[in-house]
Amino acid sequence: MNQLDFQGRHAIVTGGATGLGFAIAQRLVASGGSVAVWDRDLAAGRTAAERLGAGCSFVQVDVTDETSVRDALQSTVRRSQRVDALVNSAGITGPNTKLWEYPVDAWRQVIEVNLTGLFLCCREVVPVMRQAGYGRIVNIASVAGKDGNPNASAYSASKAAVIALTKSLGKELADTEVRVNCVTPAAVKTAIFDQMTEAHIQFMLSKIPMGRFGTPEEIAALVGWLCTEDCSFSTGAVFDLSGGRSTY
């Protein structure tokens, strides 16, 4: 593992209790920092914070609820006095079905978690970073937001919106020391696969020239660097992590 410099820094990782979010939290801790795990799963969140070790904490939060996000930030700042990085990793896939058969309630839930939740977290954290004069925000988008996956219209639309939000916020903060970037992974084998059909999983695999899924550790390596001070001249950018599927 290459050593990243996150020494003495503190990050918030939403959806950090399991899967990709937890792998990112582990990488940041291994790089010398500490993490506040934000997640709605109480048991998993507590376990994650314990596994991450000293200086790390768990805050139960519903990212789709403005009050919950605001309270979570206040709790985090009281404990850590700083927020150097925000990784927006909380997300759901929604059902795999044709758009004209897509349940309206499921559509709204995917947009609420993947897009509105990310917006609310950024909305609360950005003023803290601006006041501190420093910050790094990394949004987890998806190659689906570039290419559009069939039978995943809500997920694809939400991740395309995350890419656009990243570009917009990055430009708004370009004259500060707060950097905003996103990554676009292809499929990464985590528990989120449990939300997908086997046919959809095989479709995603067939699109990856490397012929395999990514690993959480591979995603965490790039996200970790984007959280560091070394990421100084990239903002509003989209970093590909798709095994060659998307190269634009």
| pLDDT tens digits, one per residue of 161-204 | 999 999 999 999 999 999 999 999 988 877 777 777 888 888 88
User: What pLDDT, in 10s, does the model give residues 30-74?
Assistant: 999 999 999 999 999 999 999 999 999 999 999 999 999 999 999
Q: Rounded mean pLDDT of the chain?
A: 95
Contact 155, 169 (CB under 8 A): no
Three state DSSP letters for 194-234: HHCCHHHHHHHHHCCCCCCCECHHHHHHHHHHHCCCCCCCC
Cα separation, 232 vs 127, whole angstroms: 19
Laid out side by side, the sheet with 85-88 consists of 57-60, 34-39, 10-14, 85-88, 135-140, 178-185, 237-241
Of 92-106, 143-157, 200-214, least confident by mean pLDDT is 200-214
Would you name the residues annotated as active-site residues? 155
Span between the terminal Cα atoms of the chain, in Å: 27
Distances (CA, A) of 228 to 1, 35, 129, 240: 16, 14, 14, 18
DSSP β-bridge partners for residue 237: 181
Q: In this structure, what token pair is assigned to residue 208? A: 């990856």
Distances (CA, A) of 11 to 43, 130, 204, 211: 21, 15, 31, 33
pLDDT at 145 over 90: yes
Cα separation, 115 vs 94, whole angstroms: 13
Q: At a CB cut-off of 8 Å and minimum separation 6, what does 11 contact?
A: 25, 28, 33, 34, 35, 36, 83, 84, 85, 86, 87, 227
118, burial (CB in 10 Å: exposed 0-12, middle 13-18, buried 19+): buried
What pTM did the predictor assign?
A: 0.94
* CA dihedral over 111, 244, 192, 42, signed as positive or negative: negative
> Kind and range of the H or E element at 107?
helix 104-111
The domain segmentation of the chain, as residue ranges, is 10-239
CATH architecture of 10-239: 3-Layer(aba) Sandwich (3.40)
Contact 242, 46 (CB under 8 A): no
Max Cα–Cα distance, the chain, nearest Å: 50
Of 108-117, 136-145, 236-245, least confident by mean pLDDT is 236-245
Mean pLDDT of 157-163: 98
Q: In this structure, what token pair is assigned to residue 153? A: 């219209």
> Kind and range of the H or E element at 79?
helix 66-80
